[in-house]
Structure 1
């Protein structure tokens, strides 16, 4: 049986200051979104173990699917700039109008795979905060977002 460990929160649910600040950075990242086609803005913020916060926003392109999601923009920059620094936490927020979406959005499959890759590199789980206007969903391990993930083919026993 598959169980997914998550918790529904509100900002007033005893969250620590660093968690609230990370969520605010993800909201601030919405302003950098280039989304003239979908009009769906996404912001992400990645907190690294060294205290650095890297933000990203979705970047669309007329030559679809050449754009990139906010989560991967932030993760790829963090991995390039700080290749050996583990991720402490990540927050994702979206807007399809004047404010953030009522309910949290979850990362797409490609982003989930990249998130898991960075978790596997550091061998350390990190929480992901998916933020909506009315609630926040927190998973404490990226594996909960991608339970049947792609693994290194060298690790797979395909002799059966």
Structure 2
């Protein structure tokens, strides 16, 4: 029997002030669009901002539905819109911010599994990594250099 060890490395910023200026601006847009989320059930609001290689910024916020599986997370709203509006553009960076109406979110909140798989599809399609920055409402920000840090054994189209 063999074993496999998988390790991920993240850069940790103690606050938004430590972020590079372009990422700080992107994160501020994620925080702003978070306010536009529709989350009457979970009361958990998420905003995502994507920087594309054509310099466009695409925003998304989570949109819930009483039929829970019918809603979409902020990351997928932004990624799918970017794919529809700018199909030839590459996603360079994603900034994600999450907050709750029930409590202060102090920990960085990574993308859920469905969002990880969706971002993985675009990372593989464009054949280049996507930097992912994520935070809660306050506190530290984590940076992943690639989706593969968050989903190391990714399911991809080559298996189909």
The TM-score normalised by the length of structure 2 is 0.91
- Is the counterpart of residue 150 in structure 1 residue 158 in structure 2? no
In the alignment, is the contact (CA less than 8 A) between 1:47 and 1:54 conserved in 2?
yes
Note the aligned Cα RMSD (angstroms). 1.6
Alpha-carbon displacement from aligned partner over 1:63-97 (angstroms, at most 9, x marks no partner) = 12110000000000000000010011001111102
Q: 1:144: how far off?
A: 0.6
Alignment of 1:109-128 (within 5 A): 109-128=113-132
Moved over 3 A (4+): none
Aligned to 1:138: 143
- Is the counterpart of residue 86 in structure 1 residue 90 in structure 2? yes
What SS does the aligned partner of 1:20 have?
A: helix
* Equivalent-residue separation in structure 2 for 1:100 and 1:141 (angstroms): 28
In the alignment, is the contact (CA less than 8 A) between 2:43 and 2:102 conserved in 1?
no
Q: 2:17 aligns with which of 12, 34, 38?
A: 12
In the alignment, is the contact (CA less than 8 A) between 2:12 and 2:140 conserved in 1?
yes
Q: 1:62 aligns with which of 57, 60, 66?
A: 66
In the alignment, is the contact (CA less than 8 A) between 1:93 and 1:100 conserved in 2?
no
In the alignment, is the contact (CA less than 8 A) between 1:94 and 1:100 conserved in 2?
no
Aligned to 1:104: 108
Instruction: Describe the shift of the 1:25–1:63 C-alpha distance in structure 2 as closer, same or farther (beyond 3 A).
Output: same
Alpha-carbon displacement from aligned partner over 1:100-139 (angstroms, at most 9, x marks no partner) = 6211101110100010111111101011001131100000
Aligned to 1:28: 32
Aligned length: 154
Instruction: Describe the shift of the 1:82–1:102 C-alpha distance in structure 2 as closer, same or farther (beyond 3 A).
Output: same
Structure 1 residue ranges without an equivalent (≥5): none
* Equivalent-residue separation in structure 2 for 1:74 and 1:103 (angstroms): 22
